[in-house]
Each structure stands twice: as structure tokens, then as C-alpha cells.
């Protein structure tokens, strides 16, 4: 885990830790807010219940007061003495006072109905609405006051409910008294005690017809509620979720009134009920998220600061400005940044030390300040060329680039150039290395090599000179003496007898043998003909002799080339290389039957090409076995050639043969060597 975390920066780790701590806290807060949402819901439901109770009481009171009035009317003396006209007068006063309609009739006697809304003389014979009649039947049967369902009053021309009371005499209903209460009365109750925003109170009669509604009562009164709603509210009290008539989801509490059997119900829009939950949730979520974001943000910012104090450089944090400057100044090499015009913009301490300047000396100066006067013009051109085609490159490796210190002294440098483009501005960053030591070492090495070569060449020359001397000695001195000896022996022949002559013949044979050996040794040491006949003639002769000895057809091509006036060393080398190559062919190229030795001149290069059509060999294989390769005398050929600035190439391919390419520069200054 720790190792896993190490992959992240300190800042990231801190943020992770804060997130891990904060998340459970936020979840807890969420749970608490959910509980408070539940509490809020209960609170709303309790409010609904209170409203319901209040409304129930109000409605009961209205009914009760109406019933009370009925009792008063029933006991009035007009009815005791059957003075209906007096009763009409009396009832009309009350009805005008209370805004109700009082109706009385004698169900046993006639169909005449006396109503306060109609003058006494004009009392018509009215057909009672079925709802009204049904309630009256019930009242007559039970002998108790009955409250009818809602019906449309034919006299008052509005929706009413009737409180109906039979006036009993001797066990039968003498009169039936009723008071028509306009349902407006109930609407007013609801309107006077509004259930609140987003809430709705409804009163239904026993047949589920709307008696009153806290809103839009005029629209819905007298209409039936949905049968499903009616079914689900058949109990005495309860709770249900159902849409209202306008299709809006509501949460309802209801209670059935004992006296009337009516249903009082108060509902709150589910939206309102849930609104608090939603709001709470939204608040909690917003607050939680904000808190989380702020915490992480602060940790991030703080973490950034901590990183600088505790974090690992490069992994946890970037270097600060100061650190960067320190690194820049601690670079092992000098660094200078210039713009595309070569103006110095930035230097580091090593560069300043190297050139003996302070930073302020150089800023704004052309970079050519740092190089010697005689190189400046050329440098400007180089720099412009670099700006035109900026590819990273190193200067000063092949040609000697010099730097110039403030005090005017010069020293060898190597410069690396790196183009930098920031937006559209072009810059060049140059790293500068003081290569004084390197140059010195290189020079020392070069001197040592030169000296070594000089010694080798000297050694080789000495050996060659010695061979020449020995060859001459043997050939010219010993050889001549031997000739004289044979001639002397010949002279003696005249003075001796046959026996002596026989001995002389033996002596002559010995002398002849000696002469042959002498000649061979001298010739192998160094053919005198190189010097006496010229190299071309000698080589032609040499190749032919070689061909005779080996039986391999061989030809020298190049007699036309002017090689006789080459320096002695060059001529000797040519001879030795050809000698070595032909020896190789005789030794190794057993299949060869065609050999060419060619000397040609290409400009200032003398080319020596020796090829055979033997087996050839795999060069790589030969190189893999140095001893065998060495036996080909190739290193010695190469060595000899390198002494005079020449090169050696060998190409060999199996089945085709081997070609030795030796190239010798014969430029005048080379010739002087």
C-alpha cells in the first residue's frame, strides 16, 4: 500500500487521505438529513391531521347548530296548534336572518309543502328531489334527524343539503321539518380555515358527492369523486395517496363524521410533501460537495506548499525558481542562451567563469564577444545558417573552435547548438565545453603517434637500407669475388693434369652452386633491378618469374605508368605489397589460374590492384581467426602502406577470388615524405 502510494506525489497522497476521511463524514451527514426529512414528513402529516380535526369539528358544529334550530322550530307553538301560516311567518323571519331555507310539510295529509323561500299563498305542490325524499323517508322511519346528501334545491335553485327532522305525534310523523343548508356554508368553513399552501380539504357526503372544497368549490361541488377514491376511503379514517380531480398526486388523510356519515379529507400535494425531502437532499448534497471540493482544493494548495518543504524534487514537485537557477549554474558545462540575432540573453555561472565575465557584462552583447576577432565574421555566417536550418549539432569537433576570454586569451572549445522555439520566438541554446585539456591530450597523443610512426618508418627504412646494403654487398662484392674465383680456377686448368682437372670440375660445381645461392639470397633481399632497371620493368619481370615458378598465368599491367621516379620508399612499398600479395596467392589461393597485377593512376592516387580467381575466402571468417588472417601478411602490407599514407582494401568472395586494392597518394607533398 505504502509502496503503491509512493507512485503518487505527496500532494496527490494528501488529497487521497483527505478524501478518505471526508467521505464517511459526508455519508453520515446524508443519513442524518434523511432522518430529518422523515421527521419533516411526519410534521406535515400531523399538520394535516390537525386541520382534519378542526374541519370535522367545524362541520359537526354547523350540522349541530342546524339540528338545534330544527328542535327549536319543532317545539314552536305554531306547530303545536297547527298554525302553519304562523309557522311560515315565524320561519321566514328566522330563515331571512340565517340565510337558510326552512321547509315543512305533512306527509300524512297532503303534498303541500310550506317553504320559507315561497310566499304563503303561493305554496306550490313541489316534487322533491329523490335524495331529499330518501333522507325524509329515513328520518320518518328512524324518528331521528337525518342529514341528506347534496341535492339541487328546486326552490332556491342551488345546491343544498337538508337537515330533516320528523315531528312525531302519537308515534307517527305529523310534520316533517327540514332546513336546507346551502353548501356554500361548508365551503365557507373550509375557506375560513384554509389548510395551507399546496394543501386541499374536501368534504364528501355519503354518496361521495363533493359537498365542499377548499379550492374551486363552485366547480366541483355536487359532483361525484372518482370511484377508486371513494372505495379507498370507505373506512372511518385513514391515509392514502391518490391524485385529486385535477390529476395532481396528493397525500390524503381522511375521517368519516359520525353524525352525518360524511367524509372529511385533507390532502397535501405529494410534490409539497417531497419538496422538503428534495430540498433537504439538495442542500445536503450541495453542502457536502462544496465542502468536499473546498477540502480537496485546500489540501491540494497546502499539499503544493508541503511538497516544496517535504516532497522529493522531480517526483513530488518541480524545482523552484531559485533551485532551477542553482541547477543552471551548477551545470558542468557553460550554457548560453541567445536570440535569433545572436544577442546573449542568459548565461550560467560556469560559462561566466570560463570566459572571465560577470553575467551583466554579457547580457545584451552579441555572442561573438566570446570568440576571437578573426573568427567572428565566419561565426556570424554560421550562426545565420543555423537559424535558417536549426538542427542540433556540435561545433568544434572537426575544426578547431576557439573561445576568447575577457582578458583576450584564447582557448579551444567545443560547442553544442540546440534550437529552441518558444511560441514564435527562436532561440539558440549553446553548451560550451573548455577542451583545453582534451586538446592537449589529443595533441600529445597525436605527437606520440607521429613519433611512433616516425620510428617505425625509420625502422622500416633502416631494415630496407640494410637489405639493400646486404644485397649489394652480396651481389657486387662477394659475387664479383666469386666470379674472379671461378675465372682463377679456370686458369688453373691449364697447369694441372687430368686428375687435377677432375677436381677442378668439382670445385667449379661448388662455386656455381655458391653463385646461385648468392644470387637468390641477394635477389630476395632486394632485387637490384628496382634501382637499375626501374620499378615497372622490375615488376613485369617479377610477375613473370612468379608465374614461371608457380605455373599460374600472371600478368603485370602498368608498364606505361610513370612509377620509376617515385620516392624510394614508395617504390619499395609497391614492390613489397606486390611481393606479399603474390606470396599469399601462391600459398592460399590454390585454385587460382589467372592473376593480374595492375598499377594505374587516378589523379594523385596510385592504385595497385592484385587479383586472383582462386577460391576466395570469407573475410569475416578470416578476421575471426586473427592468426590465420595474420598469416596472410595483411597487417604488414597495411602497415607499410600507412607509412606512406596509403590504404589497403581487400575484397574476397568465395568462388570469385580475391582482390587486393592498395592506394598510395602521390601528391608532391606526400612524395617528399
Partner 1 sequence: MKDKTRIVLADDHPIVLTGLRNLIESEPDFAVVGEATSGPEALKVIRDARPDIAIIDISMPGMSGIVLTRRLSEEAKDVKILMLTLHEDRAYLKQALDAGARGYVVKRSAAANLVSAVRSVIAGGIYIDPAIVHRVFSRSPVSNRVPMPEVRDLTDREVEVLRLSSLGLTNKEISHRIGVGVKSVETFKSRGLAKLEIQSRADLLRYASQVGWLADI
Residues forming contacts to partner 1 in the complex (CB under 8 A) are: 475-476, 479-491, 494, 508, 511-512, 515-516, 519, 523, 527-529, 532-533, 537-538, 540-541, 544-545, 547-548, 553-557, 594-598, 600-603, 607, 609, 611, 613, 649, 651, 653, 656, 659, 661, 663
Eight-state DSSP code of residue 545:
H
CA–CA–CA angle 375, 377, 383 (5° rounding) = 95
Q: In whole angstroms, give the CA distance from residue 570 to residue 457.
A: 12
Q: Count Cβ neighbours within 10 Å for each residue of 328-366 and write b for 16 or more, e otherwise.
A: bbeeebbbbbbebebebeebbbbbbebbebeeeebeeeb
Q: In whole angstroms, give the CA distance from residue 166 to residue 140.
A: 6
Q: What is the Cα 351 distance to its own chain's centre?
A: 38
CB of 601 to partner 1, least distance (A): 7
CB of 9 to partner 1, least distance (A): 54
Per DSSP, the three-state class of 338 is: strand
Whichever of 213 and 475 has its CB closer to partner 1, that residue is 475
CB of 610 to partner 1, least distance (A): 8
CB of 533 to partner 1, least distance (A): 5
CB of 503 to partner 1, least distance (A): 15
Q: In whole angstroms, give the CA distance from residue 135 to residue 157.
A: 19
Phi-psi region for residue 600, left (φ > 0), alpha (ψ -120 to 50) or beta? beta
Which residues have C-beta within 8 Å of that of residue 599, sequence separation ≥ 6? 536, 539, 556, 557, 558, 561, 563, 574, 606, 607, 608, 609
Count H helices and E strands in the chain, helices first: 23, 22
Whichever of 245 and 519 has its CB closer to partner 1, that residue is 519
Q: In whole angstroms, give the CA distance from residue 138 to residue 80.
A: 23
Of the candidates 311, 333, 329, 332, the residue with the CA atom closest to the CA atom of residue 321: 329
Dihedral of the CA atoms 442, 448, 449, 453 (nearest 10)? 160
CB of 473 to partner 1, least distance (A): 12
The cell 494528501 sits on which residue?
14
Of the candidates 277, 437, 422, 430, the residue with the CA atom closest to the CA atom of residue 344: 430
Parallel, antiparallel, or unpaired for β 151-152 and 172-182?
A: unpaired
Residues in the chain: 673
Per DSSP, the three-state class of 348 is: coil
CB of 672 to partner 1, least distance (A): 24
Whichever of 164 and 522 has its CB closer to partner 1, that residue is 522
CB of 507 to partner 1, least distance (A): 10
CB of 377 to partner 1, least distance (A): 37
Rounded to a whole number, what is the distance in angstroms from the first to the last CA of the chain?
76
Whichever of 189 and 660 has its CB closer to partner 1, that residue is 660
Whichever of 409 and 513 has its CB closer to partner 1, that residue is 513
CB of 592 to partner 1, least distance (A): 11
Eight-state DSSP code of residue 194:
-
Whichever of 70 and 650 has its CB closer to partner 1, that residue is 650
Whichever of 480 and 590 has its CB closer to partner 1, that residue is 480
Per DSSP, the three-state class of 462 is: helix
Whichever of 429 and 528 has its CB closer to partner 1, that residue is 528
Whichever of 358 and 583 has its CB closer to partner 1, that residue is 583
The cell 527562436 sits on which residue?
426
CB of 642 to partner 1, least distance (A): 18
Q: What are phi and psi of 261, to 5 degrees?
A: 75, 10
CB of 613 to partner 1, least distance (A): 7
Whichever of 82 and 524 has its CB closer to partner 1, that residue is 524
Whichever of 410 and 561 has its CB closer to partner 1, that residue is 561
Whichever of 384 and 517 has its CB closer to partner 1, that residue is 517
Count of other CB atoms within 10 angstroms of residue 529: 15
Amino acid at each position: 500500500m505504502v509502496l503503491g502510494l509512493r507512485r503518487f506525489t505527496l500532494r496527490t497522497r494528501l488529497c487521497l487521505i483527505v478524501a478518505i476521511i471526508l467521505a464517511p463524514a459526508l455519508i453520515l451527514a446524508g443519513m442524518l438529513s434523511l432522518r430529518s426529512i422523515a421527521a419533516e414528513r411526519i410534521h406535515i402529516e400531523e399538520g394535516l391531521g390537525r386541520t382534519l380535526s378542526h374541519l370535522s369539528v367545524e362541520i359537526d358544529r354547523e350540522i349541530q347548530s342546524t339540528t338545534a334550530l330544527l328542535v327549536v322550530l319543532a317545539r314552536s307553538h305554531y306547530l303545536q296548534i297547527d298554525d302553519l301560516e304562523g309557522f311560515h311567518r315565524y320561519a321566514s323571519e328566522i330563515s331571512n336572518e340565517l340565510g337558510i331555507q326552512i321547509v315543512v310539510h305533512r306527509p300524512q295529509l297532503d303534498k303541500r309543502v310550506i317553504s320559507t323561500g315561497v310566499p304563503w299563498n303561493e305554496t306550490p305542490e313541489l316534487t322533491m328531489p329523490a335524495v331529499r325524499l330518501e333522507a325524509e323517508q329515513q328520518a320518518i322511519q328512524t324518528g331521528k334527524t337525518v342529514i341528506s346528501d347534496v341535492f339541487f334545491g328546486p326552490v332556491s335553485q342551488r345546491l343544498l343539503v337538508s337537515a330533516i327532522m320528523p315531528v312525531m305525534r302519537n308515534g307517527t310523523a305529523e310534520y316533517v321539518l327540514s332546513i336546507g343548508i346551502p353548501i356554500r356554508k361548508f365551503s365557507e368553513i373550509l375557506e375560513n380555515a384554509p389548510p395551507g399552501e399546496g394543501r386541499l380539504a374536501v368534504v364528501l357526503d355519503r354518496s361521495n358527492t363533493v359537498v365542499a372544497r377548499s379550492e374551486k368549490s363552485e366547480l366541483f361541488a355536487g359532483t361525484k369523486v372518482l370511484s377508486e377514491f371513494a372505495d379507498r376511503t370507505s373506512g372511518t379514517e385513514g391515509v392514502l395517496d391518490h391524485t385529486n380531480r385535477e390529476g395532481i398526486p396528493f397525500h390524503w388523510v381522511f375521517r368519516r363524521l359520525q353524525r352525518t356519515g360524511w367524509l372529511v379529507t385533507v390532502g397535501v400535494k405529494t410534490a409539497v410533501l417531497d419538496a422538503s425531502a428534495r430540498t433537504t437532499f439538495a442542500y445536503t448534497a450541495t453542502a457536502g460537495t462544496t465542502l468536499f471540493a473546498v477540502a480537496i482544493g485546500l489540501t491540494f494548495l497546502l499539499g503544493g506548499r508541503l511538497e516544496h518543504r517535504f516532497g522529493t524534487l522531480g517526483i513530488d514537485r518541480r524545482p523552484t525558481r531559485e533551485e532551477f537557477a542553482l541547477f543552471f549554474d551548477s551545470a558542468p558545462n557553460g550554457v548560453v542562451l541567445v536570440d535569433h540575432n545572436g544577442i546573449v540573453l542568459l548565461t550560467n555561472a560556469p560559462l561566466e567563469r570560463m570566459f572571465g565575465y560577470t553575467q551583466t557584462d554579457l547580457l545584451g552583447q552579441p555572442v561573438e564577444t566570446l570568440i576571437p576577432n578573426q573568427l567572428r565574421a565566419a561565426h556570424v555566417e554560421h550562426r545565420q545558417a543555423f537559424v535558417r536550418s536549426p538542427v542540433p549539432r556540435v561545433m568544434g569537433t572537426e575544426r578547431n573552435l576557439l573561445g576568447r576570454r575577457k582578458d583576450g586569451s584564447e582557448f579551444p572549445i567545443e560547442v553544442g547548438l540546440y534550437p529552441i522555439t518558444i511560441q514564435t520566438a527562436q532561440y539558440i541554446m549553446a553548451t560550451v565545453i573548455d577542451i583545453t585539456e582534451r586538446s592537449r591530450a589529443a595533441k600529445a597523443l597525436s605527437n606520440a603517434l607521429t613519433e611512433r610512426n616516425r620510428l617505425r618508418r625509420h625502422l622500416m627504412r633502416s631494415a630496407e637500407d640494410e637489405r639493400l646494403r646486404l644485397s649489394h654487398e652480396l651481389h657486387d662484392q662477394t659475387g664479383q669475388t666469386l666470379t674472379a674465383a671461378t675465372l682463377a680456377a679456370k686458369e688453373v686448368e691449364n697447369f694441372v693434369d687430368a686428375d687435377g682437372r677432375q677436381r677442378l670440375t668439382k670445385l667449379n660445381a661448388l662455386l656455381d652452386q655458391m653463385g646461385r645461392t648468392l644470387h637468390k639470397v641477394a635477389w630476395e633481399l632486394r632485387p637490384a633491378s628496382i634501382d637499375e632497371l626501374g620499378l615497372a620493368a622490375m615488376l613485369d619481370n617479377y610477375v613473370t618469374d612468379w608465374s614461371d615458378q608457380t605455373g599460374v598465368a600472371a600478368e603485370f599491367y602498368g608498364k606505361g605508368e610513370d612509377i620509376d621516379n617515385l620516392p624510394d620508399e614508395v617504390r619499395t612499398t609497391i614492390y613489397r605489397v606486390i611481393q606479399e600479395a603474390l606470396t599469399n596467392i601462391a600459398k592460399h589461393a590454390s585454385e587460382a589460374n589467372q592473376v593480374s597485377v595492375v598499377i594505374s593512376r587516378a589523379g594523385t592516387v596510385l592504385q595497385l590492384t592484385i587479383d586472383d580467381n582462386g577460391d576466395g575466402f570469407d573475410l569475416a571468417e578470416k578476421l575471426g581467426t586473427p592468426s590465420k588472417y595474420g598469416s596472410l601478411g595483411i597487417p604488414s602490407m597495411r602497415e607499410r602502406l600507412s607509412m606512406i599514407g596509403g590504404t589497403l582494401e581487400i575484397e574476397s568472395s568465395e568462388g570469385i577470388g580475391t582482390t587486393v586494392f592498395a592506394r598510395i597518394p602521390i601528391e608532391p607533398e606526400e612524395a617528399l615524405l
